[in-house]
Amino acid sequence: NAGVTQTPKFRILKIGQSMTLQCTQDMNHNYMYWYRQDPGMGLKLIYYSVGAGITDKGEVPNGYNVSRSTTEDFPLRLELAAPSQTSVYFCASKRLAGGGVVAYEQYFGPGTRLTVT
């Protein structure tokens, strides 16, 4: 298994441009998440999905959109890039809990480093 993969690794955008960050997982996990990590800080949740066709906002959703048409893919869309969106973006996935297990850990991808100038 490749786990969680993200592309691109790095990207520089001009203000007002748009782009899509790709995230794919091959573990058949139901749950997927997008976080951003600003320098010296913890991760903040942007959007999440509990299954194909279902998405919901996290803590910092403004300026972003997501879709989940398949179990494997969870792309994050930036429509009008702003300098405040300069950050490292992490995608994560998690299997559905059950069978007496209340929760499982999230598996993270390697991240996409985005700079908006």
Partner 1 sequence: GESVGLHLPTLSVQEGDNSIINCAYSNSASDYFIWYKQESGKGPQFIIDIRSNMDKRQGQRVTVLLNKTVKHLSLQIAATQPGDSAVYFCAESRSSNTGKLIFGQGTTLQVKP
Between 56 and 79, CB nearer to partner 1: 56
Work out the number of other CB atoms within 10 angstroms of the CB of residue 36: 23
Type of residue found at 51: G
Pick from 66, 111, 114, 116: which binds partner 1 (CB under 8 A)?
111
Pick from 19, 27, 50, 52: which binds partner 1 (CB under 8 A)?
50
58 binds partner 1 per the rule CB under 8 A:
yes
**Angstrom distance (rounded) from CA 60 to CA 54:** 18
Least separation in angstroms between residue 15's CB and partner 1 is: 26
100 binds partner 1 per the rule CB under 8 A:
no
The site string for partner 1 over 77-96 (x = CB under 8 A, - otherwise) reads: -------------x-x-x--
Q: Give the CA-trace dihedral at 113, 108, 51, 114, to 10 degrees.
A: 0
Question: Which residue has 């929760």 as its token pair?
Answer: 103
**Angstrom distance (rounded) from CA 31 to CA 10:** 25
Quick check: 54 and 35 in contact, CB under 8 A?
no
Count the site residues for partner 1 by CB under 8 A: 29
Q: By the criterion CB under 8 A, which residues form the site for partner 1?
A: 4, 31, 33, 35, 40-45, 48, 50, 56, 58-59, 90, 92, 94, 97, 102-111
